[in-house]
Structure 1
Amino acid sequence: MSVSLSKVNSLRLSVVAAAVAAASPQWVVAEESPQAATERIQVTGSRILREGAIAPSPVTVISGRDLVETGAMNIGEVLKELPSLAATYSLANAGRFIGTAGLSLLDLRGMGASRTLVLVDGRRHVASSAGSAAVDTNSIPTAWLDSVEIITGGASAVYGADAVTGVVNFKLKKDIQGFDLVLSRGFAQDNPYDNHKALLSFGTDFAAGRGNFAVAAEFSGQEGMNATDRRQTRTSYMAVANPADRDGRDSNGVFIHDGIPDRITVANAGWYDSSTAGNFKLNGDWYIFNQDGSVRLQELGTTYGNIEHCSNCEFLDLRQYQDLQPSFNRQNLNMKANFDLTDSINLFAEGKYVRSKGSNEGQPSFFEYGSAIRIMRDNAYLDDSMAALMDANNLDSIRIHRFQKDAGRRFEQNTRTTSRFVAGAQGELSADWGFEAYVTHGETKLEQVNYNNLIRTNFAQSVDAVVDANGRIVCRDATARANGCAPTSLFGDNAINDAARNWFNTTSYSHSTIRQQVANASVNNSGLFELPAGMVGFSAGVEYRKEESESVPDRFAATGATFLNSLQYMRGEFDVKEAFTEVSVPLLSDLPLIQDLVFDAAVRYANYSTIGDATSWKTGLDWSLNGEFRIRATYSEALRAPNISELFGPQNQTFFRVTDPCATTERQSQTRVNNCAAIGIAPDFQLNNPAATVEGLSGGNPDLRAEKSDSYTVGFVYQPDFIRGFSMTVDYWSIEINDAIASISAQNILNRCVDSASGPNMQFCNLVQRNPQTQTLRLITSVVQNVAAQTASGIDFEFGYDFDALGGRFNTKLIGTWLESRKTYSFQNFPNEYIENAGVAGDATWQANLSVNYRYDAWTAGFKTRYIDAVSLFTSQSLALNPDPSDIMSYGSYFVTDIRLGYDFASGVKLAFGVDNLFNRDLPGVALGTTAETGLYNNIGRFFYTSFSYAF
């Protein structure tokens, strides 16, 4: 059971355990645990074994126990509550893209999940999303999770590419002993959401203690929840044009804002230009079909402006098609073993198989405006009232809008299987030199099934129904009839029959495969030679890595014949050869105000088969003034190589929600007026709704370069002797990413086409296609390029205080972040053109978590509250252009409190009961908690859970 490096491993675990014991139930700082000066252990952020647990970079440590002992579905749902992590891909919001339902990805500083490197025991892990390097936290074995360590800032020099904003390292327990069982079940108070978890683990020594073998199994799942299942989220709200708004141009043509909100948020409101029953516009009036197929004027209640919004009317309620939580389940099987081959060499191996299934039920197929359904006058299902209306207006056909609830909601089911195997050896080459060598192989497979995918041609044939010579209702097209076409009515709710639904709906099957192979070998020496201030530490190594990804779409859907986006085949691969080294040099010691001064440096050279050579490096300085106060600083240059999707992704069909800058209502500058005219747009070009969904093409770019980041941190650690049990850390951090890989947004393409003072910018205008007759937008093309930049800076702080009181032991911890700035630049060559996200939804200026844990004999009690500062819903840049866009301008400050009570029996049984969101805090405003910006808010409500564990 790992003798040679088992000492290192056990010391490593003892440090984490000590830190956890000092600061449970939530967040602790690893470097604060005192250790004997002769002990050398490995810490995250360095490959050199070091005395104590002194990390050269700011590291936040969360105990595995605290991640497991919650009511959350998985560890990703707990980690997203950390102030340093954004809720970009959580269970609640991951389903907003095709193929991502069920994913739980980590995104440090909100700068992109692809820029956060996720490791398991310091080793790379196979990705979970095709074409990317992003790792799904559902694939991590929580039964053996010892701790999670989070490093801020670039760490590519130590761990390789992708560690641009930082590293999240999942550390697993080493020698597993005995049997552990954990069962938990929870349910929400006011909705059908519930979840369950079961963890089993068994480990034992063999060969007279020279080896250890362990297995573990995990089973978990949750029931989905729709927006209509909760009181707060079931009401449909719509931001509508404010009738009181008087914005307009003055006599000089200058646009004037009157300070009155352009839009107001109205309850029981929505779109009236589509309906589940079917509707259409004729002679300026909207008509809707009754249940029996007859037609009447649609009840529009109160309407707002030129956009088809109404309240207290017959509107399309989209809330019924919005899931707040997906259905999800997971099975995780793990095995690991290690064996002391000699007193100085330990062999180790591990393997796992994870299967997760996430479902996302979305909107049904719909048809409106340009895609509205054409109904002929001789349609067999046409009601007399509809026929009379068409005759009175001399119409031989009419186009109806329809949101096809009766065709079935489109339903996506993603099944991911992840297998990973690690084998290697570690130990001592001599008294001073240690080594580690390992290989890993990982594979993720995604099976994506899309139900109720409408076949456009079959649907058109089915709704074009006529009466044949025998008086039967049939499909007009004879070939379609011969192939089994079933006719159907579209007039009224639930008009579509089962036979027709089976004719025009299909199930589409797509699959993806991701493979990763890694071979790594390194040596380390914590006492390479001695300087007056101490021993020089050294490590060096080499690594080979190969990444492959293939996505095979449904062949029929790829032709564009179905309602599902037309996705294309993608395959790509790359390999990289790397060499790295690191040194730790003591400069001064045992001087007044300098107990220790240590300089750290690391460099990594890489050769990619795709982008060629790349180098990253890092330096750091650690200054201990005395046993109480320590100052630390780091500076690094990191890189992120373009991933497979960015390099090899085909041009796929997508849809952009954009506002046409050439609509008369959007020409708010003379520059736009002139440039729109120059590209052939009529001066009176007017749209009922300037905002529209437009078809687009997006794809990869084989000429991409690596992203580069410069980051630095500076901070201090304070542990005063006169306040025993108190610790304080404060670190300022700054990250700048250049040559950032990004698609130019469709809106940016449109705006930059017509916003140049020198005339239309054809670089962007050539990416836009318009209908030559109507001049409406038809197609926008966007591919990824190294054009963008991002910056972020702020302060992380942690305060811990552990003390005895009330006959027991209190452990308290406050962890927080002040976000100074987070800017995004669509074009890095225009440094004055940026969006400041700090203080905007998803990027609160202040976030903090406070935890208090109390133990009295066998009783434990825990309290945790999470704070999110008030946020604006609009950036300062957008408000500079329009200072009065809405009546809801911000979300207020947000507190959520969780509690837990437990009892530990002498027999090894532990029982616990907990309540998450104790005060049933509602979502802010009219949010649903299903976007990247609102995913950090609780959309489940008050949640009760209980857990049972047994260990022997």
Structure 2
Amino acid sequence: MRHMTMQTAVANAVGISLFAMGVSSIPAFATETNEVERIEVTGSRIVREGAIAPTPVTVITGKELLNTGAVNIADALNELPQLADTYSLGNSGTSIGTAGLNRLDLRGMGSNRTLVLVDGKRHVAAVPGSAAMDINTIPTAWVESVEIITGGASAIYGADAVTGVVNFKLKKSIEGFNANVSSGWAEDSGYNNQRASLSYGSNFDNDRGNAAISVEYAQQARLDMMERDQTAVSWARFADKSGNTVNEFLPNAGHYRISNGGTTNIGGKYYTFDPDGSVREVDRGDKFDGAYCAGDCDYINLRQWEELQPEFDRTTVNFKVNYDLTDSLNGYLEAKYSQTNATTAGQPAFFFFNPKTTIERDNAFISNELGALMDTAGLDSIMVNRFMSDLGPRTEEDERTTQRYVMGIQGEVFSGWDMDSYVVYGQTKHDRTNLNNLIYDNFNYAIDAIKDPTTGQIVCRDLEARANGCVPANIFGHGNLSDEARDYISTTTRGSSTIKQFVTGASIANSSLFELPAGYVGVATGVEYRREESTSDEDPFAAAGNTFFNALQSEGGKFNVKEIFAEVSIPLLADLPLIEQLNMDAAVRYADYSSVGDATSWKLGLDWALYSDLRVRSTIATAMRAPNIGELYSAQSQNFFRVNDSCKASEMTSLTPEQRAIRSANCAALGVPTGFDDPYDDKTLEGLSGGNENLKPEESKSFTAGFVFEPSYVENLVFMVDYWQIEITDAISSISAQDIIDKCVDSATGVDNQYCSLITRDKNNHQITNILQVVQNIAKSETSGVDFQLGYDFPLAGGDFKTNLLATYLIESKSYPFQDNVSEYEEYAGVIGDAKWQGQLRFAYNIDALTLNWKTTYIDRVSLYTDQFSANYDKPYSNIMEYGSYATTDIFGSYELNNGLSIGLGVDNLFDRDLPIMATGNGSGQGGYDNIGRFYYLTLDYAI
């Protein structure tokens, strides 16, 4: 069971080919000439006729990527159904060390299962231990197209391509000068962004060579939750005393037992401290429950520190040169340097029922009023719950520098045989700085202040600390902390990491090895060696647990893999009734990992043209993905989880009788007594997160089947349908802390499962004291869906009008969490992050120098809970059970002047569509929802 569910499986589309309007179409069949161009398409190393792809391919042109208000490519890609809930700037600050990243996540099954290539070659990762690259480092001005495929990709490119491949194809030769700038601003906040790029390239040595350089800079301002009316509202969960639902979510609500000035319990009543240091009873208002109150009361709005978009900037410099060594061989060299900087901020250090904030009665900062209350209650000390907002928010600055070098030779080595041999080296250096980090010992010494009996001065009680420069700290009331005390109790800590990648390989292909009655047989084969290394060095002071910041541990790992692969395309039949052409494609890839041993991936596909208008295609494939460095070797480091104990009596009252019996029996088996109740709701619990050296490789099976209908009697009309299915056995997964608790006690097979062993309870009070969140092999994940596309291009009023409708229907998205019980699953299709229907409708009109674009993106209504979770309760779990359907519209227009200058104006979220209720657009499953609002931008493009 899970509460506000997190995306765990696919909700997106299999390779649908977009029409023009800056988007090209695959397949496109040659009809006007007997000489058909042979090109290489993503998904195969065998050169094909025209643009006939062996598997469904989505192709987006570089021009389309520039016609957007985003400062990076990924934000433009994220609106496609395949990538609708991917990892973008908006949600990059939700984890330590990830601010500013853009990682692609095909089908929502995790960025580690999406292989991103640049010109068909691997790219160094952006996060230690992972394989996922940062899309921010791609040179926008040089992108020719982006191709997205699924189905059999692992056998062609490597087992990382479990869900598919995103291949950024850069322009091979660049001639002339190009400058592109854009600037945008939000209508109802201070959010803004800018982007500028310069590119120059030229041929040399009688056009045998081409050299080019590009420089690009982009930045965006921070957007706080408090800047937008909807996201400024704090929500809290209450028990529904009306009995209509288990819980009710209420706006303008939050904790009342903690505040910026400090809150304490005296005689069963809660008191808070105003900025002048005075004490008063907390006003809980008329609506309160447990630790929360709503409406006109003293609740803390946690969103005062949270952000919707981080402050971010990036600079990339790219150089490339290619030279014809002979008439048939071309040598190439590429070099890239990229630096990104992101700043993200969140809640300050806080103490909530923590003994570290125990204040003795003789404390020098206790007022007479507070002292009288303590004396009346007979208290020698009090515990203060407080956000240390005087220190400022906990702020993280992330700087990443990426270098990548590619060198190779490609071309025809023998008659009909094309070769590509290459060496790739990449390195990412990440420096993380954490500001306003509270020092535990210094804080404890500083708040334990007394009056020196000799001088009457307020000093720290501990003599040794006093001798070492301890500064007394007054935490009674916000703003009463002196600058000297602030400096004494806080520090700046740093961590760094380095990722290195080395790849070398060679492939050779012949698209017409020999001829069969139905056509030519094509083959390709090759080898590749890859070495990955990742190390991180954490601040020793913070790693020892001396600060409020997570005690992350230094770690490192490496592996190498040797691979051999082969591919064949065989024409089986041709020129028969209902068989104009029938081809079979097959591929196999064998890998030997230094970490987990060998793994084999293969695929088999059929491409059947019944006649010129109708083509049917299908692919079946398997792959075995080895766990990456982080999944295997990531050190177990301190983490904090916000959880509820499912064994609490209050958590069982609304369960169905059957589920209550299961949970009660499991909790009893863990030693938790009947009637147990943890006094803290949604409490923050300390634990450990890390890798797992006992992980097994995961094995995937995929299947696609579909057709392309392009009627000859309706020019420029195409209709495509593709069914897809992916099943991953022993799926490598990171399970949330709340899910670990729930899955432990809600298993129908008892507590002897893989989750209960990760939880530690106090033997006396039975409360959870620790959770070990390590990467797990779950039984399996499976998902399936259908992609649809309808495209039509026709002349209109002297120009060209282009339409494209792209949609995905998600049939299922199941997670089987228990290795010992493969019959138990949760269905996420139709749950937040996995909408049943997603789609995008595009219109484009071009006439002379004028281009107009319209794009509407749609997400179907989604539930906040799985059906399996809801079935455990005898009534609806909450008063808000779903997000309604959601659509946004973007428009863009440009005009090209005669002097090479093009001017554009665009509006994103034209109708200023609000977020769904309670949503922020940067939480789990919320990547498809816009949190900026109506956004205007201008573009200028100059080319000579």
**Same structural fold, with TM-score higher than 0.5 when normalized by the shorter chain:** yes
1:25–1:853: 8 Å Cα contact kept in structure 2? Answer: no
The answer as to 2:504 corresponding to 1:519 is yes
CA offsets per residue over residues 662-681 of structure 1, 9 Å max, x none? Answer: 22223462344344344433
**772-781 or 487-496, larger mean C-alpha shift:** 772-781
Q: Quick one: which amino acid aligns to residue 468 of structure 2?
A: N
Residue 567 of structure 1 corresponds to 552
Give 1:690 deviation, angstroms: 5.0
Residue 935 of structure 1 corresponds to 927
Structure 2: unaligned runs, 5 residues or longer: 1-15, 653-658
Residue 3 of structure 1 corresponds to none
**Corresponding residue to 2:107 among 100, 106, 109:** 109
Give 1:384 deviation, angstroms: 0.8
The answer as to 2:26 corresponding to 1:29 is yes
Residue 700 of structure 1 corresponds to 691
Sort the Cα spacing of 1:317 and 1:425 in 2 relative to 1 into closer, same or farther, 3 A: same
Sort the Cα spacing of 1:764 and 1:234 in 2 relative to 1 into closer, same or farther, 3 A: closer
2:876 is paired with a residue whose SS is coil
CA offsets per residue over residues 480-534 of structure 1, 9 Å max, x none? Answer: 1222111121111212111111011111110010010000101111111111111
Sort the Cα spacing of 1:21 and 1:569 in 2 relative to 1 into closer, same or farther, 3 A: closer
2:731 is paired with a residue whose SS is strand
2:689–2:773: 8 Å Cα contact kept in structure 1? Answer: yes
**Corresponding residue to 1:647 among 628, 632, 635:** 632
Give 1:877 deviation, angstroms: 0.8
Sort the Cα spacing of 1:827 and 1:756 in 2 relative to 1 into closer, same or farther, 3 A: closer
Residue 655 of structure 2 corresponds to none
Residue 628 of structure 1 corresponds to 613
Sort the Cα spacing of 1:377 and 1:32 in 2 relative to 1 into closer, same or farther, 3 A: farther
Give 1:788 deviation, angstroms: 3.6
Please list, as runs of the form range in 1=range in 2, the aligned pairs for 1:238-253 lying within 5 A after superposition: 238-245=236-243
The answer as to 2:872 corresponding to 1:887 is no
Give 1:749 deviation, angstroms: 4.0
The answer as to 2:493 corresponding to 1:482 is no
Residue 844 of structure 2 corresponds to 853
**Distance in 1 (alpha carbons) for counterparts of 2:672 and 2:819:** 30
**Distance in 2 (alpha carbons) for counterparts of 1:27 and 1:313:** 57
**Distance in 1 (alpha carbons) for counterparts of 2:624 and 2:35:** 35
Sort the Cα spacing of 1:676 and 1:733 in 2 relative to 1 into closer, same or farther, 3 A: closer
1:154–1:709: 8 Å Cα contact kept in structure 2? Answer: no
Please list, as runs of the form range in 1=range in 2, the aligned pairs for 1:369-768 lying within 5 A after superposition: 369-371=353-355, 373-468=357-452, 469-667=454-652, 669-751=660-742, 753-755=744-746, 760-761=751-752, 764-768=755-759
**Distance in 2 (alpha carbons) for counterparts of 1:408 and 1:265:** 29
Residue 656 of structure 2 corresponds to none
Please list, as runs of the form range in 1=range in 2, the aligned pairs for 1:766-805 lying within 5 A after superposition: 766-805=757-796
Residue 75 of structure 1 corresponds to 73
Give 1:279 deviation, angstroms: 0.7
**Distance in 2 (alpha carbons) for counterparts of 1:67 and 1:674:** 56
2:81 is paired with a residue whose SS is coil
1:116–1:162: 8 Å Cα contact kept in structure 2? Answer: yes
Residue 230 of structure 2 corresponds to 232
Residue 327 of structure 1 corresponds to 311
Q: Quick one: which amino acid aligns to residue 698 of structure 1?
A: S
Give 1:186 deviation, angstroms: 0.3
1:647–1:704: 8 Å Cα contact kept in structure 2? Answer: yes
The answer as to 2:898 corresponding to 1:913 is no
CA offsets per residue over residues 543-602 of structure 1, 9 Å max, x none? Answer: 000000001111110001100111111110000001100000000011111111000000
| TM-score normalized by the length of structure 1 | 0.94
CA offsets per residue over residues 882-905 of structure 1, 9 Å max, x none? Answer: 241111111111110111121100
**Distance in 1 (alpha carbons) for counterparts of 2:743 and 2:141:** 52
The answer as to 2:804 corresponding to 1:813 is yes
CA offsets per residue over residues 207-263 of structure 1, 9 Å max, x none? Answer: 010000000010000000101111222222223222312xxxxxxxxxxxxxx1222
**765-774 or 703-712, larger mean C-alpha shift:** 765-774
**Distance in 2 (alpha carbons) for counterparts of 1:793 and 1:679:** 38
**24-33 or 92-101, larger mean C-alpha shift:** 24-33
**Distance in 1 (alpha carbons) for counterparts of 2:307 and 2:127:** 22
Q: Quick one: which amino acid aligns to residue 23 of structure 1?
A: A
1:273 is paired with a residue whose SS is coil
1:387 is paired with a residue whose SS is helix
1:878 is paired with a residue whose SS is helix
The answer as to 2:166 corresponding to 1:168 is yes
**Corresponding residue to 2:853 among 862, 886, 909:** 862
**207-216 or 893-902, larger mean C-alpha shift:** 893-902
Identity of aligned residues (%): 51
**Corresponding residue to 1:44 among 36, 42, 45:** 42
**Distance in 2 (alpha carbons) for counterparts of 1:20 and 1:730:** 10
Residue 133 of structure 1 corresponds to 131
Q: Quick one: which amino acid aligns to residue 68 of structure 1?
A: L
Sort the Cα spacing of 1:651 and 1:125 in 2 relative to 1 into closer, same or farther, 3 A: same
Residue 216 of structure 2 corresponds to 218
**235-244 or 383-392, larger mean C-alpha shift:** 235-244
Sort the Cα spacing of 1:596 and 1:678 in 2 relative to 1 into closer, same or farther, 3 A: closer
**Distance in 2 (alpha carbons) for counterparts of 1:194 and 1:266:** 32
**Distance in 2 (alpha carbons) for counterparts of 1:431 and 1:742:** 48
Q: Quick one: which amino acid aligns to residue 176 of structure 2?
A: G
2:809 is paired with a residue whose SS is strand
1:234–1:319: 8 Å Cα contact kept in structure 2? Answer: yes
Residue 4 of structure 2 corresponds to none
**RMSD of the TM alignment (CA)?**
1.8
2:90 is paired with a residue whose SS is coil
1:37–1:51: 8 Å Cα contact kept in structure 2? Answer: no
**Distance in 2 (alpha carbons) for counterparts of 1:753 and 1:919:** 46
Give 1:297 deviation, angstroms: 0.8
Sort the Cα spacing of 1:159 and 1:396 in 2 relative to 1 into closer, same or farther, 3 A: same
The answer as to 2:309 corresponding to 1:309 is no
Structure 1: unaligned runs, 5 residues or longer: 1-18, 246-259
Sort the Cα spacing of 1:21 and 1:100 in 2 relative to 1 into closer, same or farther, 3 A: closer
**378-387 or 187-196, larger mean C-alpha shift:** 378-387
Sort the Cα spacing of 1:945 and 1:840 in 2 relative to 1 into closer, same or farther, 3 A: same
Sort the Cα spacing of 1:311 and 1:580 in 2 relative to 1 into closer, same or farther, 3 A: same
**Corresponding residue to 1:124 among 112, 122, 138:** 122
Give 1:143 deviation, angstroms: 1.1
CA offsets per residue over residues 885-940 of structure 1, 9 Å max, x none? Answer: 11111111111011112110011000011111111111011211111311211100
Sort the Cα spacing of 1:522 and 1:503 in 2 relative to 1 into closer, same or farther, 3 A: same
**Distance in 2 (alpha carbons) for counterparts of 1:748 and 1:938:** 27
1:617 is paired with a residue whose SS is strand
**Distance in 1 (alpha carbons) for counterparts of 2:814 and 2:525:** 36
Give 1:441 deviation, angstroms: 0.1
